[in-house]
Amino acid sequence: MGGFHRLLRPARASATPSRVDGARGLGRTGRFRAVDATASFPLARSMNGFPRSAATGPCRRTLLFGTAGALTVGVVASNLTPVADGGTGPATDGSPPDPTGSPTLIAHRGFAGENPENTRAAARDATRSDGPGRRADLVEVDAVPTADGDVVAFHDDALAGRDGPGLTDAEGVVWETGTEAVTGAEVLHSGETVPLLGDLLDAVPTDVGVNIELKNPGSSALRFAEKLSGDALETQKSIWRPFVERVLDIAADRDHEFLVSAFYEAALAVTVDESEHPVAPILWRSIEDGIAIARAHDADAIHPPIEMIRGTPFFDESRYGDADLVDVARAEGRDVNVWTAKSWHEAERLAAAGVDGLIADYSTLS
């Protein structure tokens, strides 16, 4: 399945009861402490994924699905160096990453360029073996709550949203609208309605992974795409926790392999607290914050936008300078799944730059 990983972390005694998920192979009884992103010691992983020693911080044992992009694993420095915009970015040795032969194909909202996004029909079509292009390795789906506390698969805050005819034929903010009204809303005049998250997951074959993006817990008081600490992180976690727990309960009833992603550190922190599912921060404007969040929560992957990928025509050198995110991620044993690939040209150049996965709107890109 390309570069998608499943984490198996050794158990650790805990003073508090631990959650055990029902997803196959992903139950846990504990985990290593999170890495301190400000620590001076290097991240260390042995070649087979087992810890070298307790002194080097947390390591993980991974099972690799497929062969997309061999990871450079070992003892690596994880310092940050100044970049052109006056901020900081990961240091690299200047050598470009190896190209990826066949990147993991992640169907963005169920290949939103081909199908009505985040619907059961999109999930079915994205995982067909006789579709117009390649079958998805994972289906990416967005999760938000309704006013009744149910979790639905939907991207925007507002049911109408966007320009033109709107995303659905209904009005209102999703988490301020009852479940019956939300799930009765027609998506893009397709005949498909907004599904409950569980119903969409049931439309995905269990041999296909699912990337659940935690969009919003039903609050406007969120800290977006930034590294937090102390009381600020705990406050945000308290906002996210009830919603994330509902999402995890839904996932626990299914047999898929799950990857949980979010722009919000607190959403990932709660996921790590409550489950063994691998997590991935979605990066926005700051490579430094994204790497720090990944380190703090032992993320299995990072999800940057295409303009962060050095060695492509899309790289924004004026903002990111000498930073080589792919090189740093590989050195630390993380996959790089890039959003959003919308053309064959983008897909080709991103694969050549060594990304592990393409979060794509079309099945025909890879």
In a domain, 168, yes or no: no
Long-range contacts from 25-31, C-beta under 8 angstroms, 24+ separation: 25/257, 26/257, 26/258, 26/275, 26/276, 26/277, 27/276, 28/275, 28/276, 31/272, 31/276, 31/298
User: Is residue 38 included in any domain, yes or no?
Assistant: no
Average pLDDT over residues 340-365: 96
137: in domain: yes
In this structure, is residue 74 part of a structural domain?
no
pLDDT for the residue numbered 96: 60
Please check the confidence at residue 88 and state whether its pLDDT lies above 90.
no
**pLDDT above 90 covers what percent of the chain?**
70
pLDDT digits (tens, 9 = 90+) for 152-176: 999 999 999 777 778 999 999 999 9
Q: Which residue has the higher pLDDT, 259 or 72?
A: 259
Task: For residue 315, give the CATH number of its domain.
Answer: 3.20.20.190
Domain annotation covers residue 53: no
pLDDT for residue 75 is more than 50: no
Q: Is 94 part of any domain?
A: yes
Domain boundaries, position 295: 80-156+193-365
206-222: per-residue pLDDT in tens? 999 999 999 999 999 99
pLDDT on residue 162: 78
Task: Give the mean pLDDT of 332-353.
Answer: 97
- Token look-up 């700051």 returns 286
Which residue reads 């985990």 in tokens?
31
The residues near 133 (Cβ < 8 Å, ≥ 6 apart) are: 362, 363, 364, 365, 366
On whether residue 115 sits in a domain, the answer given is: yes
Residue 30 banded pLDDT, cuts 50, 70, 90 = very low
Q: What's the CA gap between 139 and 359, in Å, rounded?
A: 9
Note the pLDDT of residue 48.
Answer: 26
- pLDDT digit string, tens, across residues 101-150: 789 999 999 999 999 999 999 999 999 999 999 999 999 999 999 999 99
Tell me what pLDDT residue 93 has: 52
- Angstrom distance (rounded) from CA 273 to CA 321: 35
Please say if the pLDDT value at position 338 is more than 80: yes
Residue 100: the pLDDT is 64
pLDDT at 249 over 90: yes
* Weakest mean pLDDT among 91-95, 178-182, 271-275: 91-95
pLDDT at 61 over 90: no
Average pLDDT, the chain: 79
Q: Are 59 and 45 in contact (CB under 8 A)?
A: yes
In the chain, how many domains are there? Answer: 1
Q: Quick check: 91 pLDDT over 60?
A: no
Q: Is residue 8 part of a domain?
A: no
**Which phi-psi region, left, alpha or beta, contains residue 167 (left: φ > 0; alpha: ψ -120 to 50)?**
alpha
